[in-house]
Homo-oligomer: A and B are copies of this chain.
Amino acid sequence: MYPNERCEKTSCETCLHARKKFAQYLNPIEYQALENHKLCKVFKKGQYLFSSGDIPRYLFCIYSGQVKLFKEGINDRALIIRFENDKNVIGYRSLIANDIYRLSAVAMEDTKVCMIEKSYFIFLMQNHREMLTEITKKINDELELVQERMLSLAQKNIRERTAEFLLFLAKTYGMEADGKTLNINLSRQEFADYVGTSLESVIRIISEFDKDKIISTHRRKITILDMDQLIRTANVLQYTI
């Protein structure tokens, strides 16, 4: 089910990502002990890290690469909930709630992850109140984001939602060196799976934006030409860079 390749461990000691996240709360001994409670794997493009319904056994810490988290719906259609890249930790929600996974996670490119044993993560959580507080806030932010998306799905048309998604990508994943080309590459299908529409519809809207000189596209590269127009098209009340 999950054909993947165990690889040599990356040291948490030198991994800034880990330190930036939950690991900042650990004392040196705990930090050292992490090494004995983890394994590292490489997931090839398209492989599942976990699947909705599975029982969580690890906290996943993305060392490099990119992952999409999604719900599988009707007729093989998916709804992408979010993307996570090498700055982030995934799978904490189900661990804390002691629940099965409610989302599936797939590597969008070859992705290296450090997998910390559930029991050790729980142990750390119990000894560090601030970690729980931090994660609670994170879940809270997620909830607010999802509620906003729900509002868009309920009240906006595909043109507005697609514009909104482009703004979200710009804000969240930033730009390339030129300052206007999106720093994330998605397939048209992934666009559709996030916006919540059909492949063809999202293609038509992106073509329109291109024709209207709001963006320019070259394969999967998208350059934002007219940010003001994009914000107006998204019909958002307030947009903060």
Hey, which bits of chain A sit against chain B, CB under 8 A? 71, 73-74, 77, 79, 81, 93, 96-97, 99, 102-103, 129, 132-133, 135-137, 139-144, 146-151, 153-156, 196-197, 235
Contact = CB atoms under 8 A, between A and B. Distances in A.
A69 to B, nearest CB: 10
A147 B144 contact: no
Q: Which of A71, A99, A150, A154 has the largest number of chain B CB atoms within 10 A?
A: A154
Contacts of A133: 132
Given A132-B133, A136-B139, A139-B143, A155 B196 contact: yes
Interface SS of A by simple majority: helix
Contacts of A156: 74
B140 A97 contact: yes
Contact of A147 (B71, B74, B77, B140): B71
A148 B149 CA distance: 12
A140 B71 contact: no
B74 A155 contact: yes
Contacts of A79: 150-151, 154-155
A73 B160 CA distance: 13
Contact of A155 (B73, B99, B136): B73
29 contacts: A71-B151, A73-B151, A73-B155, A74-B156, A74-B235, A79-B150, A79-B154, A81-B150, A93-B140, A93-B143, A96-B137, A96-B140, A97-B137, A99-B144, A102-B144, A129-B129, A132-B136, A135-B136, A136-B136, A139-B139, A143-B143, A146-B146, A146-B150, A150-B150, A150-B153, A153-B153, A153-B196, A154-B196, A154-B197
A100 to B, nearest CB: 10
A210 to B, nearest CB: 24
Contacts of A151: 71, 73, 79
Contacts of A154: 73, 79, 153, 196-197
Contacts of A99: 140, 144
Nearest to A197: B154
Nearest to A125: B133
Contacts of A77: 155
Contacts of A155: 73-74, 77, 79, 196
Contacts of A102: 144, 147
